[in-house]
A and B are shown apart, each in its own frame.
Chain A
Amino acid sequence: MVAFVLRRLALLVVALLVSSFVIFAGLQLAPGDPLAALSGGRSLPPEALEALRAQYRLDDPFLVQYGNWLVHAVQGDLGQSIAQRHDVATIIGERIGVTAQLVALAAVIILVAGVGLGVLAGLRRGPVDAAVLVVTTLLAAIPSFVAAIVLMSVFAVQLGWFPAVGAGDGFADRLHHLVLPAIALAASALAIVARVTRASVREELEREHVETAVSRGLPRRLVLRRHVLRNAAIPIATVSGITILSLIALSAVVERAFGINGLGATLVQAAAAKDLALVQGISLVLVAAFVVGNTLVDLVYAVLDPRVTVGSRAA
């Protein structure tokens, strides 16, 4: 267990190092000027530009710039956003909440609706099963930005049940604002989870140990709970965990579509503006969230399945 946590910490450090370097190099190679956003299209006098380039150390060689950034980042200083003229850590702090809430709400939708539909389809053959298959096939095929547009035009614009843009304030208002984005974000992952759940339930129903439980005169409810769903929970948890983690990256698309000022939308803007420090900062947070989330999935997996020791599923 200790070894597992240490291994995961090492993995986290390596992932952060590699991703930060790749992002740094990528933005360096991309066209565009980081100062363009600052000058707002006006052409600044050459001395002013010179001063700014010196202030943000834009003329240092690439490796020196990266080394500099790294030294500060290790000390907890993620630098300044050139475009927003703000502390990167402060910007992240302001925006991380709404993204976390969006992903969390999408996760709840996936677990409730995806697992629920999957269990239903797994246990009932016939029309229920067929309906779930059709719905999940549709959902899986729709990209999240299309889902966002459709949901917005139907439920926000035409029916007016939900607000079309923004994130709202206070718990109830926030929830009201995030329902449509969360559904758009959850849709295709929900379909995958429902499919996997259905297949796992079917597979477990056929297991010999389920027959043993039936042969002992256990009520069906208990057979399903203790022997079918309990065992199916192992693959379901793993797949749900991984698909939910993938939403962290996907949230950018939905945040942009619904005008939500979250980490994802900010990341897209920052990348467009070549705002290196901000892109780096947000990416680090996302990569860290992914690695930590993945570790949690592995822990859950080991808790659910006594045959595996912690960490045997992956690195």
Chain B
Amino acid sequence: MSAPLLEVADLAVTLPVEGERRTVLHDVSLAIGPGEALGLVGESGSGKSMTARAVARLLPGGAAVTGSIRFDGTDVTALRGGELRAYRRSVAMVFQDPRAHVNPVRRIGDFLTEGLRLRGVARAEAARRAVAALADVGIPDGERRLRQYPHELSGGLLQRVMIAAALLAEPRLVLADEPTTALDVTTQSEVMAIIDELRRERGLALLFITHDLDLAAAVCDRIAVMYAGAIVEERAAAVLHDDPLHPYSAALAAARPAVDRTLPRLAAVRGRLVSAFEAPAGCAFAPRCAHAQDRCAAELPPLRPLDGGAVRCARAEELRGRLAPQEVAGG
């Protein structure tokens, strides 16, 4: 891979909760090259959103960050004032719930052109570009939409508007945090197709956060699997599903429900998930792992390169090839 556009190394984040510091991320390392798409997959509470927030510098007040986040060579964690704002403009965020993330009392046109106007683009030109961006995301009657308010649009349309707004910023990296979870199933696939197509067309780098391993595999070049605030495996999307290196990835891959079931996929991984702050000293997944040994509970191994990816499991080499999805299918 060429020099990465985004490089996160040994990222740890703690937040103040009721007077204590609570660890929400304790060891996240990942890299995204220019134009590359990385999927970030894991159960609820594993720290996916926190990772994206740390990258976008949107952590809640009082957050303490260690480790490094570099974007195009500059240290993101040290940015202040105007430099920070300029950085934020080159990284666009697509949030999960467009209804909440678009100001309800301003027109769609204001939402789309706000960033452009800030960069000194004239009003008429900004409106023209906004209409074009709406057309790009499959909204043909852009001029009318610009005059509408968010409550006049469906969730799916509003998410397309959010994507259009992200693209208008001409970012180099898009952070999409479960962009389709709040939408109904048919709309989900349409919105996903739009993100995928436009990203490839424009050569944008993408951090795609999802619960859905299959969806991530379809859209992304590589996938990072998160568990309890740490990356446990990182592989090419094409191989992760069929040849997982970490028992947790294998469990995720195996926990795919029948097509007609509506249960969330990951509910099928056996045992209770843990958050970073309550994770035991050793491997956080050990209590749920069918392959755990005594040493797993004693010490958390580092993320180390293996088979073209990286894995954080003491027994990865021994288990290689034995973690076919059906073997560890949990109930």
Contact = CB atoms under 8 A, between A and B. Distances in A.
A305 B115 CA distance: 23
Interface stretch (A72-80, A170-178, A226-234): A226-234
B95 A212 contact: yes
A230 B85 contact: no
A217 B93 contact: no
A212 B101 contact: yes
B318 to A, nearest CB: 44
A227 B85 contact: no
Contact of B105 (A211, A222, A305): A305
A135 B325 CA distance: 65
A219 B85 contact: yes
A63 interface: no
B100 A217 contact: no
Contacts of B104: 209, 231, 306-307
Interface in A180-228: 207-209, 211-219, 222, 226-227
B93 A227 contact: no
B151 A307 contact: yes
Interface string B2-32: 0000000000000000000000000000000
B106 A212 contact: no
B103 A215 contact: no
A151 interface: no
A299 interface: no
A284 interface: no
Contacts of B107: 306
Interface residues of B, number: 27
Contacts of A307: 104-105, 149, 151
Nearest to A230: B105
Given A215-B93, A216-B88, A217-B86, A209 B102 contact: yes
Contacts of A219: 85, 118
B101 A211 contact: yes
A216 B114 contact: yes
Contacts of A213: 103, 114
A216 B115 contact: yes
Contacts of A230: 103, 105-106
A234 B105 contact: yes
A122 to B, nearest CB: 15
Contacts of B89: 216-217
Contacts of A70: none
Nearest to B162: A212
**Most chain A Cβ neighbours within 10 Å, of B86, B97, B103:** B103
Nearest to A211: B58
A216 B110 CA distance: 13
Contact of A304 (B58, B102, B105, B149): B105
Interface in B263-284: none
B139 interface: no
4 closest A-B pairs by CB? A217-B88, A217-B85, A217-B89, A208-B100
Interface of A: 207-209, 211-219, 222, 226-227, 230-231, 234, 304-307
30 contacts: A209-B102, A211-B95, A211-B101, A212-B93, A212-B95, A212-B101, A212-B102, A213-B103, A215-B58, A215-B92, A215-B93, A216-B89, A216-B114, A216-B165, A217-B85, A218-B115, A218-B118, A219-B85, A226-B106, A227-B106, A230-B103, A230-B106, A231-B103, A231-B104, A234-B105, A305-B105, A306-B104, A306-B149, A307-B149, A307-B151
